[in-house]
């Protein structure tokens, strides 16, 4: 009797899980199409810095997982980024259906989720330099988890890379948010071993770069919150010898909404922690900039119009994109 009862429970759970997998699997493609529609609608409203179109192809839905490729096409190019009209950035997306994605179960996570996904940058004409800089490894890989309530979490792994005079070691960033948007977005991240080669004899190094940010959008248009970016253990090196050291260089941003009004106050603070030259302690410093009653909608429109004007200027005079100061 006990064995029959246990078997019945297992069968019932299997049916429920199978039904859940089937249901969540049916939600993937409509969700992708809605995301694409929202992105392209924003383009029509002039909300993008560049004229970009989002699309997907090769959607292959299985019982346990789905696969497709997401593409961002630069319709008119981006001359300031040396992107030609029609060039694309593509991502391979592998989705595991909920309610209990297999990979999450293997890592001991038994919290139900709508889906989990792996996203990889595709190596193509536009992105090939990134793969070369990362020594033919994938420069970035993302793991995403989507909850039934609309919240999401993302882990972004960054491969060590060398871009000319700038290089860094491995890094990882985590993003947690609500409603698959920038509302209530929590960001934490770290990149190690940063090097900026100023000349054959001079360079600046930092043991790590960290970021910690918690922001939200009020009424979908007022950004508020705090963020802190920090370069840790900075060394200025000349001919192989340390010229100066800085324990930390910190940039802090605080955005507050003016009570009962459609404006925000901005507080920017830069800190220099323990500057040392040789054996001499030069102390620490702080510099702040405060701006009050900023209209975020007006600033956004200014940025959009500025980007449009710059695109037209660069399209008419592409040689400007290659000018060096």
Q: Domain span at residue 272?
A: 189-294
Token digits of residue 70 = 């997401």
Same domain, 219 and 178: no
Same domain, 54 and 132: yes
Contact 304, 298 (CB under 8 A): no
Token digits of residue 164 = 């000319």
What is the domain count for the chain? Answer: 2
**pLDDT tens digits, residue range 248-303?**
999 999 988 887 677 888 898 999 999 998 888 888 999 998 888 888 777 767 66
User: 303 in a domain, yes or no?
Assistant: no
Say whether the peptide bond before residue 274 is cis (omega within 30 degrees of 0): no
Same domain, 285 and 216: yes
Same domain, 12 and 148: yes
* For residues 59-79, average pLDDT: 82
User: 321 in a domain, yes or no?
Assistant: no
Distance CA 208, CA 234 (A): 9
User: 130 in a domain, yes or no?
Assistant: yes
Contact 84, 112 (CB under 8 A): no
Same domain, 1 and 87: yes
User: 74 in a domain, yes or no?
Assistant: yes
User: 152 in a domain, yes or no?
Assistant: yes
Same domain, 204 and 137: no
* For residues 200-207, average pLDDT: 91
Same domain, 220 and 152: no
Q: What does pTM read for this prediction? A: 0.75
Same domain, 193 and 78: no
Distance CA 183, CA 222 (A): 10
């Amino acid at each position: 009797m006990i064995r029959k009862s246990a078997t019945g429970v297992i069968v019932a759970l299997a049916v429920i899980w199978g039904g859940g997998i089937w249901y969540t699997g049916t939600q993937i493609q409509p969700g992708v199409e809605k995301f694409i529609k929202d992105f392209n609608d924003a383009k029509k409203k002039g909300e993008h810095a560049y004229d970009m179109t989002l699309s997907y192809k090769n959607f292959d839905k299985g019982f346990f997982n789905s696969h497709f490729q997401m593409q961002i096409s630069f319709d008119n190019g981006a001359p300031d980024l040396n992107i030609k009209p029609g060039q694309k950035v593509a991502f391979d997306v592998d989705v595991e259906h909920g309610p209990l994605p297999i990979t999450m179960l293997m890592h001991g996570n038994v919290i139900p989720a709508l889906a989990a996904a792996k996203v990889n940058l595709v190596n193509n004409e536009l992105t090939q330099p990134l793969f070369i800089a990362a020594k033919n490894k994938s420069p970035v890989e993302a793991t995403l988890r989507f909850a039934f309530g609309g919240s999401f979490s993302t882990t972004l792994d960054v491969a060590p890379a060398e871009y000319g005079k700038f290089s860094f070691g491995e890094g990882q960033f985590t993003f947690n948010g609500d409603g698959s948007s920038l509302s209530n977005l929590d960001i934490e991240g770290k990149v190690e071993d940063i090097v900026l080669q100023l000349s054959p004899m001079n360079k600046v190094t930092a043991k790590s770069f960290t970021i910690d940010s918690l922001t939200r959008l009020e009424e979908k248009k007022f950004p508020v919150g705090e963020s802190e970016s920090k370069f840790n253990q900075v060394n200025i090196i000349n001919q192989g010898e340390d010229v100066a050291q800085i324990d930390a260089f910190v940039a802090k941003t605080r955005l507050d909404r003016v009570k009962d009004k459609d404006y925000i106050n901005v507080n920017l603070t830069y800190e220099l922690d323990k500057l040392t030259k040789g054996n001499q302690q030069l102390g620490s410093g702080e510099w702040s900039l405060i701006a009050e009653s900023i209209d975020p909608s007006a600033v956004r429109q200014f940025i959009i119009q500025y980007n449009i004007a710059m695109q037209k200027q660069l399209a008419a005079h592409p040689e400007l994109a290659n000018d060096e100061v």
